[in-house]
Amino acid sequence: MARCCTGSWHAPVYFTVSVVLAFVAISTSLHSKSEDPMSPTKLTFHELSLNASKALRRANFNVMATLLQISPEIFLSSPNVTIFAIQDDAISNSSLPPWLLKNLLHYHTSTLNLPMEDLLKKPQGSCIPTLHRKKKVAITKINSKARSIEINNVSVSHPNIFLAETISVHGVLEPFSSLAPHDVHQGWNIIQAPMCDSKSVLASDDVKSTNMVEWSLIVRLLSSNGFVPFAIGLNSVLDGILEDYRGLDSVTIFAPPSLQSLTSPSPLLQRTVGFHILPQGLTYKELTAMPAGTLLMTLVRDLRLEIAGTASFNSGLVINGVEVVAPDIFTLNTFTVHGISRAFEVAEIPDTPT
């Protein structure tokens, strides 16, 4: 009886692992096949992932150990990495869809190699880059005397589980971002560190409180490709966007062919333009991979766009009842533009209490 109970965690854990691995199999198989399995680089890569996996298993982070052993490409896609391992029960009990779970794993993997000694040397408020679409995690508390640190208000409970020349692995008390099922409908924006993704970001050697989006290039491209009304509207409200979203590093724009003659700055124009912009870059492939009903955060804080699935007549993606007719018109590092058949209908501006 004891042996049965001891292994009871395996079923949910390996089910979760199998789902995640199935989701990333296509994206990682081409990368794996392109390398000679007997090359020195491959052997080093394999040895590092295997040794790190063994160390994680000894520390009872079995899910992360299995993922790292079977599909190390999820984590080791940067020359230097720090993995913040999530506890088994948090992953195995999660109801997140595979695409969001993969993003969560990327959000727990930094593109820097940071042993505990290096983490403790960083100033409180520093932002650390991750593999998840340039999102960052924040060092929210440091106690050098107690040699303790919190990231996104989560304690690093198992420091230095594994250290190597290019890899550091630490265990954390809980995930850096919520895993509650009801949060799935907030889309990719449940994965964020408020200190690093808003205008309150602290300037440091890791991050600058500037807007990285190439807005002037976006306006020119829209103007020269048939989206003149929207380009004029965007240019008119650009100062407000720059003020409200100083930490913005990528956007998705749904460009309509017309904008109801809204060409002068006004609260309604600001709201209308902002409703057509997401504060993260999403390609058409990434959008279509999201389940129907997913809500996407826009630059209007009280409004969301809803993915309705594909239209039956031509399998085009439909968002808020509007079809994406020209996907991926422009896709650069800081922005992606999709053409839509008409403008999204914008809810009325809420009454301001008097």
Render pLDDT for 264-321 as a digit per residue (tens, 0 to 9): 668 889 999 999 999 888 999 989 988 888 889 899 988 999 998 665 555 679 999 9
Give percent of the chain with pLDDT exceeding 90: 36
3-state secondary structure of 21: helix
User: Is residue 234 very low, low, confident or very high in pLDDT (cuts 50, 70, 90)?
Assistant: very high
Q: Is the pLDDT of residue 32 over 50?
A: no
Q: Which domains does the chain have, with CATH numbers?
A: 45-185 (2.30.180.10), 215-340 (2.30.180.10)
C-alpha 266/C-alpha 272 separation (Å) is 10
Residue 1's pLDDT band (cuts 50, 70, 90): very low
Q: Tell me the mean pLDDT in the region 252-274.
A: 84
Q: What is the pLDDT of residue 195?
A: 58
Largest interatomic CA distance in the chain = 74
The pLDDT value recorded for residue 349 is 61
Q: Is a pLDDT exceeding 70 seen at residue 30? A: no
pTM: 0.51
| Segment 176-185 long-range contacts (CB within 8 Å, at least 24 positions apart) | 176/84, 176/107, 176/108, 176/137, 176/151, 176/152, 177/104, 177/107, 177/152, 179/90, 179/94, 179/95, 179/96, 179/104, 181/95, 181/96, 184/95, 184/96, 184/97, 184/100, 184/294, 185/293, 185/294, 185/295
Residue pLDDT, tens place only, 171-192: 999 998 765 544 444 444 445 5
Q: Residue 90 pLDDT > 90, yes or no? A: no
